[in-house]
A and B are shown apart, each in its own frame.
Chain A
C-alpha cells in the first residue's frame, strides 16, 4: 500500500515539547465552565451567602450599604418565629402548594391519560391544552381577576344564570374564597407541564405489558395500578416536585391578584419575604425567613428526588 507521510507537524517535533493532550483537554473543560461558574458565583452563590449573613444582623438599617455593620445575633430568627404572620404564611404556603399541585396533578394525570388514548385530533388538542404554560404569571393573574370579577366577571354571570348566585360575589376579596381563587389561577398555569411529563412517561410504557396483563385477565383498573402507575411514577414524582417548588417560590400570581390579602389570607411565605423586605424594609426578618425556606425546599427536593430515584427500579 502506498502511504503518504501523514504525520502531522506536531508529531515531527519531540513529543515532550507540547503539553499533554489529556491535560489540555481537562483545561478546556474547565475553561468552558468559567463563564457559568462566574455567573453562578456572583449572581447566585454570593447573594445567597449575603442572605444568610443579613439574616444574622440584628437591628434595622435603612442605609443598605452599611447593613453589614450591624451586630451579629439571632434576633431576626427570634422575631420571625414569634410572629403570628410568619406562621400564618407557613400555613398559607402549605395550603397553596398542596392545593395547586394536588389539583394540578389530578387534572394533569386525567388529561395525560386521555391524550394517550390516541383519539382523533389529540395531537392538536395537546398543543391547545399546553398553552397556559406559556402565559406569564402576571397575565394569568389579570385574566382571572377579570373572569372572577365580582360584578362583571363572566363566572358570576354564569352562576347567576343557573341560579346559584344572586347579586355579586368578590372571589378574590372575600377571605373565604380568596385562596381558592388564587389556587384556581395557579392550577390553570401549572397543570400543562404535569400533563406533558406524564404523557411522555405514558408513551414510554411498553405496549406489550398491557397485552400481557390483558391475557392475564387484568381489567382497566388493575392495569392502571399494576402497569401504568409503576411505569410513570418516577417522572410523576419528579414533576410534582418541580411544580411544587415552582409554586412555593413564585409570587407573580399571588402578588398580582390579591397581594396577600384580604387580611393576609393569601400571603404565602415567598410573598411574606417580599413584603418584609420591600414594604417594611425589614431585610433581616425577610432573609431569616428566606434562609428557612431554602432549607425546607432543599429537604423536600431531597425527599422527592429520593422517591423518584427509587421509582426507577
Chain B
C-alpha cells in the first residue's frame, strides 16, 4: 500500500471515529459510574471493569419507558403496514401507467415532500379537534401517513420500474389475468423493494416527533421520541439515565440498519432519489 493510500485510510478512519464518537459517549455515559463521566475532565477510555448495566433496568422502573416503546411500536406497525399497502398498489400503477390520474397523483406526492410537518400539523390539529381524533393512535397513524405514503410510493415505484414489464406481458400471453401476473410474477420479484420500503417506513415512523408531541397529550399515549424529549425539560437532567434510554431507543434502528443496509443503499440511491 502506498503512502498516499495509507494517508487516505487514516483520514477515513478519522472521519469514522468522529462520526461514531457520539454513539460511543452515549453508551459510556450510560454504563459507567457517574463520577467517571460527570467530571471536569473525564477519561475518554474509562475503566470498563467498573461498567454497570443497572441504568438500563432503571429506565424501565423509573420512567414509563416501556409504555413509550409500546406506543411507538403500535403506531409504527400500523402506520407502516397501511402505508406500505397503499404505496405498493399506487407505486405499481405509477410505474406501469402514465395516464392523467397517475400524473396528478405523482405531482401531489412531490408537492407533499415540500410541506413542513409543522405546517401540515396546523390543519390536522384543527380537523382532529373537530372530529375527535385528537389524542388517539388512529390520529397519529394518519398524521404519520402524510410522510409515509409519499415516501413509500416513490420507493415502490422505483423498485417496480426495475422489473421489466415484459415479464407481466409474457405472463398475460401465457394465460394469466392482470391480477395473476401481478401476484405470481411481479410481487415475488418486488420482495426486496417491499423489504427496503418497510425498513424505511419503520425508521421514519420511529423518528417521528412533532406530530406525536402535538396531536397527543395524554401521558399514557406518548411515544418514545416525545418521552425522551421530556427528559430534557426537567430541572436536573439525569444524563446517565437519559443516555441509557437513548441507547435503548437507538438500538433497534441501528440493528435494523446494519442488517438491511445493502437493501437500503440500493433503495435510497435509486428509488428515493428518482422520486424527488
Contact = CB atoms under 8 A, between A and B. Distances in A.
* Chains A and B touch each other in the complex, with CB atoms below 8 Å apart: yes
Interface of A: 8, 24-26, 28-30, 32-33, 35-37, 39-40, 43-48, 50-51, 54, 64-65, 67, 107, 110-111, 114-115, 117, 119-122, 125, 127-139, 141-147, 149, 151-152, 154, 157-158, 160-161, 188, 193, 196-197, 200, 235, 238-239, 241-242, 245, 248-252, 255-256, 270-271, 273-274, 277-278, 283, 286-287, 290, 293-294, 297-298, 301
Contacts of A29: 93, 96-97, 99, 101-102
Given A33-B105, A146-B239, A256-B232, A294 B256 contact: no
B101 A30 contact: yes
Interface stretch (B20-28, B48-56, B58-66, B187-195): B20-28
Interface of B: 1, 5, 8-9, 11-13, 15-16, 19-20, 22-23, 25-26, 29, 37-42, 44, 85-87, 89-90, 92-94, 96-97, 99, 101-102, 105, 108-127, 129-130, 142-143, 145-146, 149-150, 153, 175, 178-179, 203, 206-210, 214, 225-226, 228-229, 231-232, 239, 242-243, 246, 249-250, 253-254, 256-258, 261, 265, 268-269, 272-273, 276
A33 B42 contact: no
Nearest to B142: A43
A138 B228 contact: yes
Contacts of B94: 33
A39 B149 contact: yes
B20 A128 contact: yes
Contacts of B102: 29, 33
A142 B93 contact: no
A137 B38 CA distance: 24
Contact of A270 (B105, B116, B214): B116
B122 A287 contact: yes
A139 B249 contact: yes
Most buried by B among A36, A137, A297: A36
Contacts of A64: 125-126, 129-130
A151 to B, nearest CB: 8
Nearest to B92: A32
A152 B92 contact: no
Which 10 A-B pairs have CB atoms at the shortest separation, nearest pair first?
A36-B90, A290-B119, A136-B207, A47-B123, A50-B123, A200-B269, A274-B118, A32-B93, A249-B116, A134-B257
Is chain B's binding surface mostly helix, strand, loop or mixed?
A: helix
Nearest to A132: B19
A189 B119 CA distance: 22
B273 to A, nearest CB: 5
15 contacts: A26-B97, A64-B126, A119-B8, A120-B9, A131-B19, A133-B257, A142-B229, A143-B25, A152-B39, A160-B41, A250-B117, A252-B209, A274-B210, A277-B118, A277-B125
Contact of A67 (B20, B119, B126): B126
A7 B99 CA distance: 32
